Structure 1
Amino acid sequence: MDGLNLNNQLDEKTQLLISKMEREIELKDSEIQNLKTELAFLKGQILNKNRKIFGKSSEQVDSNQMSLFDDAENNCDFKMAEPTMEEIAYTRTKSSKHIGKKDNLANLERIIVEHKLEENEAICSKCNNSLVVIGRKSKEVLKYIPAKLYIEEHITYSYACKSCEAEAGVANIISTKLPNTIFYKSMASNELVAHVINMKYQHAMPLYRLETYFKMLGANLSRQTLSNWIMNSATELQVVYDIMKEQLLKKNYIQADETTVQVINDSGKDSKSKKYMWLYKSGALKDPIILYDYQNTRSSSCPKEFLKGFSGYLQTDGYTGYNRVENVKRLYCLAHIRRKYHEIIVNLDEEALKKSRAIIGFNYCEKLYKIEKDLRETYSKDEDYYKKRYKIRLKKSAPILNEFQEYVEREIKNALPKSPLGKALDYTRKLLSDMKTLLEDGSLEIDNNGAERAIKPFVIGRKNWLFSNTAKGAKSSALIYSIIETAKANGLIVEKYLVYLFDMLANTESKEKETLNNYMPWSKALPDVLRIKVGK
């Protein structure tokens, strides 16, 4: 009996020990699973960072993934963590579309040079009779005239009437006039200043390169001189910027965005706090206006102050700084919502995609974009386009937006809050209800990509010139970028338009708004020579 009791006691101890070990194993398994999940998350973060830095910027995904919508619903597992991401290599195919050289050069000036024999050369060497033309061949050569700098010296003369002087003792004196330039006391011509501005802001050439460029043309123009011209130009163009802003605030639809800019402070040191370049763009296609606004902060007071007096639709990304803008109806950007899901699925293989819950959210975005694409390809953008888009959106887009919202509310209950999917769902839930504002007006765009494209020239320029020397320089750059990008958006040749604008400002005594309206980039009164000709 004692032996039996001992065995029972040993069995109980063994069972307790086994149970304890099983619990420890379960805890370890749970800890390992958590570490695997965390590792997958961190690996995904690194892959996304690398893709943003080194990969292509396009967010397009294989169209075959659209067919995975039902697979994701059927093969889902709510308790399963997002699968580990694997990097996939994509191949880019070149477009077969191309434009021939004649299409590209159709709008260039054409000079015809005929190569004919002189009269004394057009003699037959055998019978001495005159030769006649029996055929001709043609060859086109694209010529380039190199840039040239030269001094144009203007000499004025004064004239006096000696008869008046003899009779009245006072001569009637008349003097010829010098041509006016935008800078009265400067040697810089309007053409030269326009060229400097165009090279720096449209073609992103920093001043030290411009200095070298002019040196090769035979002129030693220091960076300080070039900088002074630019700053003084901004001062002269301020009145144009003010009218552009006034007109922008009268629009009923504005898109906005912002990006950082590095500014050197007055002591010559790099400013530690981030500075921002804000962008505001009219949403409608007619008479587009693009304005930049430099501010030393990302505070909500910046858009609130800039957009004071505006009443209409304001489209932005999810940044809450725009929430304080008064008297506006918010519209968000589907591209930013789509990007959250794209960052999750972009590196998943096909099997992982079938189990991913993120592909569902991504596909809702794709369906909405497909409707917009079909609209653009089906209907021409005439006066009725927005009315047609309004009706079709109500019929096709509205149900998808409702389904998308239901998906978000359902999925967010099961997703880990700090997981990539959890963050994407939370971001979507905050913005999706105001995305339905899209259904109110056919002129509204589905995303804020127009503003992002408009701010891109500044971002490209920033990579080349790196920083602004002072806050005043940054403000001047904002003003000049505004005029250049608005001119581009209205189909103008930027450099020619700047010359025209400088000429008009220099020779117009009245700076009244009614007069200056004729010089605005969208004005129908502008000469046709300033407009980019569309190839036939």
Structure 2
Amino acid sequence: MRFELSQNSNSKINEPAVEEITYKRNKPSKNSTMKDNLSNLEVIEIEHKLDSSENKCDICHEEMQVIGSKTKDILVYEPVKMYIERHITYTYACKKCEIESGQANIITTESPKNLITKSIASNSLLAYILSQKYELAIPLYRQEKCLQSLGVCLSRQTMSNRTIACADKLDFIYDKLREKLLLSNYIQADETTLKVVDTQGKESRSKTYMWLYKNQSCDNQIILFDYQKTRSSYCPKKFLEGFSGYLQTDGYNGYNKVDNATRIYCLAHIRRKFFEVIQPILNDKEVLGRSRSLIGFNYCEQIYELEKDIKKNYNSNEDFYDKRYKIRLKKLKPILDEFKCFVNEEVENALTKSSLGKALEYAKELLPNMCFILEDGHLEIDNNAAERAIKPFVIGRKNWLFCKNQKGAHASATIYSIIETAKANNLIAERYLVYLFDKMTGIDDFCKLNFEPLMPWANEIPRCIKKK
């Protein structure tokens, strides 16, 4: 249920109109969905023909001719197959050189190298384990059971050690992505809690945090996680050192310490505060109609409707952001000005500790900085993109509950960053990990490695890694 003011109504009136809106979605046909989803799969054709002994007419016994055919598609699942590649290397010696000089010329063939030296795990197995945990949120103990069903006894301790070792290797890519992120002029940020077991093996009483930073770009998207022990303002200040531009977050004051950042707040959080007030009275339209919180909520709805119309009408245009900038100056600015006036007037009469009073105080603090979205059409009105980006971590946390130590938490931040950045750039994360591992295998000093072809948006990325 949504409540909106009509276009011709005054937002300051005491009894705003309440309108219930329903939506009807057009569902795609079953056949079109199947065809779109399976178009990238290999097709194996199997012909069912009569053999020579059966291809005889029952009446005249003459050979029969094909007059038509029908096709039936069956989607086949082939179980995962795991096996051991046993590489046998040989050593060769030149007997002639040994006879003539007393020293034989010896050559030894080489076996393939793995990312983790002296590990039996192939690069593809490492990528599979990381993808299962950090993309599909399958904890290691469940993976241990799945592997046992395939006849493979690989303990979760071993997989955990390999995970941390992979994260140490991927830190190089993480650092390069962070350098690229700091060159952006628009970053969204968010943070959430994380449980970490202390050195005595007990759950730490103090909260630790996983921070998220995301650039807002159509191309070269970057999503980075950063594990920290506290929610101190020092954390974003340190991570974003060197950044200069717009920083969009919720109302947490810890981000105020970031140097050279223009703070933009999130309209969704402002709307949420007003909605929490009217939610208990949604079914009582008489009481709802007299609610001052409904007026504040409807201001937010007007802004969202305007943004929705802009995207609907101009999203396909090459100059979309310029169009949005101009329309916002004309239509959004008056709404924001009225909204601020409403909040400033109402907050004087509202009880400070009441739900309405808290919503108004929150809006009063954040609304002035919302005007910065009028400066650039690339800026969004809310921080929802960052909240969506941090959601995979939150879902995974529900399954694996906590990190065993801080080293594991840092490793999780690194791997989540690589996988979510790959997904944001329309890559198949598991295949991208294999690609990175293959390129990094056998290299001792990553500083000498050309990292540009390894970036998720690089033209050198093989087509099989990209989603179709």
Give the TM-score normalised by the residue count of structure 2: 0.94
Mapped partners of 2:24, 2:280: distance in 1: 22
Report if the CA contact (8 A) 1:280-1:451 is conserved.
yes
1:365 aligned to 279, 293, 300, which one?
A: 300
Q: 5+ residue gaps in structure 1?
A: 1-60, 78-89
Q: Distance in 1 between matches of 2:60 and 2:325?
A: 81
Aligned mate of 1:187, from 112, 116, 120: 120
**Is 2:36 aligned against 1:97?**
no
Which of 176, 180, 184 is residue 243 of structure 1 equivalent to? 176
The structural deviation recorded for 1:119 is 3.0
Q: For residue 125 of structure 1, report the CA deviation from its aligned partner.
A: 3.3
Q: Which residue does 1:425 correspond to in 2?
A: 360
Map residues 112-511 of structure 1 onto 2, 5 A cutoff. 112-348=45-281, 349-381=284-316, 383-508=318-443, 511=446
Choose from 449, 465, 468 the match for 1:530: 465
Q: What is the alpha-carbon distance in structure 2 between the residues aligned to residue 510 and residue 235 of structure 1?
A: 13
Percent of paired sites with the same residue? 55
Instruction: Look up the match of 1:66.
Output: 5
Which secondary structure does the structure 2 equivalent of 1:373 belong to? helix
Distance 1:276 1:373, change over 3 A: same
Q: Identify if the C-alpha distance between structure 1 residues 474 and 510 changes in structure 2 by more than 3 Å, giving closer, same or farther.
A: closer
Looking at structure 1, the residues matched to 136 and 329 of structure 2 have their Cα atoms a distance apart, in angstroms, of: 42
Q: Summarize the Cα distance change of 1:222–1:509 in structure 2 as closer, same or farther, 3 Å threshold.
A: closer
Query: How far did 1:72 drift?
Result: 7.3
CA distance in 2, matches of 1:75, 1:268: 58
SS across alignment from 2:230: coil
CA contact (8 A) 1:69 1:359 kept: no
Cα offsets for 1:227-254 (capped at 9, x unmatched): 0110111011110111011110111111
Contact 2:196–2:409 (CA<8 Å) still a contact in 1?
yes
SS in 2 for 1:255: strand
Q: Contact 1:275 / 1:298 at 8 angstroms: preserved in 2?
A: yes
- Counterpart CA distance in 1 for 2:459 and 2:339 is 44
Unmatched segments (≥5 aa) in structure 2: none
Corresponding letter in the other structure for 1:384: D
Task: Please tell me whether residue 521 in structure 1 is matched to residue 451 in structure 2.
Answer: no
For the Cα contact (< 8 Å) 1:412–1:425, is it kept in 2?
yes
Task: Point out the more displaced range, 125-134 or 271-280.
Answer: 125-134
**Comparing 292-301 with 389-398, which one deviates more in the overlay?**
389-398
Match among 33, 44, 68 for residue 111 of structure 1: 44
Shift, 1:415, TM fit:
1.2
Q: Is the 8 A contact 1:197 1:230 kept in 2?
A: yes
Deviation, 1:93, is 7.7
Structure 1 residue 104: deviation in Å? 2.1
Of residues 92-101 and 107-116 in structure 1, the stretch that sits farther from structure 2 once superposed is 92-101
User: Structure 2: which amino acid aligns with 1:464?
Assistant: N
Residues 91 and 203 of structure 1: CA distance in aligned 2, closer, same or farther (over 3 Å):
farther
Instruction: Report if the CA contact (8 A) 1:180-1:503 is conserved.
Output: no
CA distance in 2, matches of 1:74, 1:314: 35
Question: Whole-Å Cα distance in 2 between the matches of residues 385 and 171 of structure 1?
Answer: 72
Cα distance in 1, alignment partners of residues 271 and 451 from structure 2: 43
Q: Post-superposition shift, 1:105?
A: 1.5
Q: Which amino acid aligns with 2:278?
A: I
Cα offsets for 1:177-196 (capped at 9, x unmatched):
11111111000011111111
2:365 and 2:336 map into 1 onto residues whose CA distance is: 14
Q: Secondary structure at the match of 1:515?
A: coil
Report Cα offsets for 1:137-156 as digits up to 9, x if no partner. Answer: 11111111111211110111
Deviation of 1:290 after TM superposition, in Å, equals: 0.4
Counterpart code for 1:213? C
Larger radius of gyration: 1
RMSD: 2.1
Q: Is the 8 A contact 2:5 2:11 kept in 1?
A: no
Deviates more, 1:378-387 or 1:124-133: 378-387
Query: Using the alignment, how far apart are the partners of 2:216 and 2:313 within structure 1?
Result: 21
Identify if the C-alpha distance between structure 1 residues 243 and 71 changes in structure 2 by more than 3 Å, giving closer, same or farther.
closer
**How many angstroms apart in 2 are the aligned matches of 1:518 and 1:132?**
56
- AA paired with 1:222? S
| TM-score of the aligned structures, taking structure 1 as reference length | 0.82
Change (3 A) 1:473 1:69: farther
Once the two structures are superposed, residues 455-510 of structure 1 have per-residue CA deviations (whole angstroms, 9 ceiling, x without a partner) of: 00010001011110001111100110000100000000011111111111104566
Residue aligned with 1:408, SS: helix
Are 1:335 and 1:448, in contact at CA under 8 Å, matched by a contact in 2? yes
Change (3 A) 1:75 1:221: same
Three-state SS of the structure 2 residue aligned to 1:266 is coil
Residue identity opposite 2:5 in structure 1: M
In the alignment, the residues of structure 2 paired with residue 379 and residue 75 of structure 1 have an alpha-carbon distance, to the nearest angstrom, of: 35
Q: 1:513 Cα shift?
A: 6.7
Q: Distance in 1 between matches of 2:447 and 2:348?
A: 61
Change (3 A) 1:96 1:347: farther
Comparing 521-530 and 253-262, the one that deviates more = 521-530
- CA 1:71–1:253 in 2, change beyond 3 Å: closer, same or farther? closer
Bigger fraction of residues in helix: 1
One-letter amino acid matched to 1:62 = R
The answer (yes or no) to whether the contact 2:127–2:434 under 8 Å persists in 1 is yes
Pairwise CA distance, 1:113 = 1.1
- Matched position secondary structure for 1:347: helix
Distance 1:297 1:210, change over 3 A: same
Question: Contact between 1:72 and 1:355, CA under 8 Å: does it hold in 2?
Answer: no
CA distance in 1, matches of 2:105, 2:58: 72
Deviation at 1:344, TM superposition (A): 1.3
